[in-house]
C-alpha cells in the first residue's frame, strides 16, 4: 500500500501529440505532485531535440532519454515521456514497476496538432503518414508497458486529466 507521504507517481506514454505533455501537466496539478517532462529535461541539459538527432542520431537521443526517465522515476510525480521512449528496451524495463497510462489519439484528430511540428521524425513530406506508420510500429510496446488507456482525440484536456486522476487514486 502506498503511503500518503509518497507522491502518486504515474507515467504517460503514447504517440507524438497524443497530449502527454499537456495532459500530464494538468494531472500533476490536480494530484498536487511534481510534473516532469523528460523531453524538457533532455533539452535543458543537451539543447534542442532536432539538433541532437541531426548531430548525434536517434540512438544517442534514446540514451539521454533513458537517463532522464531513470532520474525522473527516482524523483516521482507525473512523468510524461517522449513518444519514442518505449522503443528502448532499457526504458521499458524501468517502467515495469510503475503505473503507466497510454494516451491514444486518432490520425484524424492528430492532423491539426502536428502541423508545423519541429519533431525530427515527422520532418519531410506527409508528416501524417509518417506519424501513422510510426504509431503502428510502436503500438505493441505501448500496450506492453501500460496498464490503462485513455483516448484524447475529441475531448478537452482537463476532462481527460480528471479521468486519469480518478484512475490513479483507485490504484493506491
Ligand atoms: N485533448 C486535446 N484536445 C485538443 N488539443 C490537444 C489535446 N491534447 C493535446 N492537444 C494539443 O496537441 C498538441 C500536442 O500536445 P502535447 O501535449 O505536446 O503532446 P505530446 O507530449 O504527447 O507530444 C498541443 O498543441 C496540445 O495543445
Ligand atoms: O516519438 C518520438 O520518437 C519523439 C517524440 C517527441 O516527444 P513527444 O511525443 O512529446 O512529441 C520527442 O521525444 C522526439 O521528437 C522523438
Ligand atoms: Mg511531449
Residue nearest ligand 2's atom 6 by CA: 82
- Give the three cell numbers for residue 40: 524538457
Domain-located, residue 57: yes
The number of distinct structural domains making up the chain is 1
pLDDT in tens, 32-46: 999 999 999 999 999
The whole-angstrom separation of Cα 142 and Cα 125 is 26
Domain-located, residue 54: yes
Our answer on whether the CB atom of 22 is closer than 6 Å to any ligand 1 atom is yes
pLDDT in tens, 141-159: 999 999 999 999 999 999 9
- Give the three cell numbers for residue 135: 504509431
Bridge partners of 78? 10, 35
Q: State ipTM.
A: 0.99
Residue with the larger pLDDT of the pair 115 and 5: 115
Domain-located, residue 96: yes
**Ligand nearest the Cα atom of residue 49:** 2
Question: Whose CA is closest to 95, among 8, 7, 6, 10?
Answer: 10
Our answer on whether the CB atom of 21 is closer than 6 Å to any ligand 1 atom is yes
User: Domain of 114: which CATH number?
Assistant: 3.40.50.300
Domain-located, residue 5: no
Angle, CA 63 vertex, CA 57 and CA 65 arms, to 5°: 100
Residue nearest ligand 1's atom 8 by CA: 19
pLDDT in tens, 8-23: 999 999 999 999 999 9
Coil, strand, or helix at residue 169?
helix
- Give the three cell numbers for residue 2: 502506498
First-to-final CA distance of the chain: 6
What DSSP string runs through 88-133?
SHHHHHHHTTS-EEEEE--HHHHHHHHTT---GGG-SS-HHHHHHH
Residue range(s) defining the domain that contains residue 118: 10-170
**Ligand nearest the Cα atom of residue 17:** 1
Domain-located, residue 162: yes
Domain-located, residue 112: yes
Domain-located, residue 105: yes
Domain-located, residue 4: no
Amino acid at each position: 500500500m502506498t503511503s500518503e507521504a509518497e507522491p502518486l507517481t504515474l507515467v504517460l506514454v503514447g504517440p507524438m501529440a497524443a497530449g502527454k505533455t499537456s495532459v500530464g501537466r494538468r494531472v500533476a496539478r490536480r494530484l498536487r505532485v511534481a510534473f516532469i517532462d523528460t523531453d524538457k529535461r533532455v533539452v535543458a541539459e543537451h539543447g534542442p531535440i532536432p539538433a541532437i538527432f541531426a548531430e548525434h542520431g536517434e540512438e544517442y537521443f534514446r540514451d539521454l532519454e533513458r537517463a532522464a526517465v531513470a532520474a525522473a522515476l527516482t524523483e516521482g510525480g507525473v512523468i510524461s515521456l517522449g513518444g519514442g521512449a518505449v522503443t528502448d528496451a532499457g526504458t521499458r524495463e524501468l517502467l515495469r514497476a510503475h503505473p503507466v497510462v497510454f494516451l491514444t489519439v486518432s490520425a484524424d484528430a492528430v492532423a491539426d496538432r502536428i502541423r508545423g511540428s519541429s519533431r525530427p521524425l515527422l520532418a519531410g513530406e506527409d508528416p501524417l503518414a509518417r506519424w501513422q506508420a510510426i504509431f503502428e510500429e510502436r503500438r505493441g510496446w505501448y500496450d506492453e508497458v501500460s496498464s490503462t488507456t485513455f483516448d484524447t482525440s475529441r475531448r478537452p484536456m482537463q476532462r481527460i486529466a480528471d479521468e486519469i486522476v480518478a484512475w490513479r487514486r483507485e490504484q493506491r
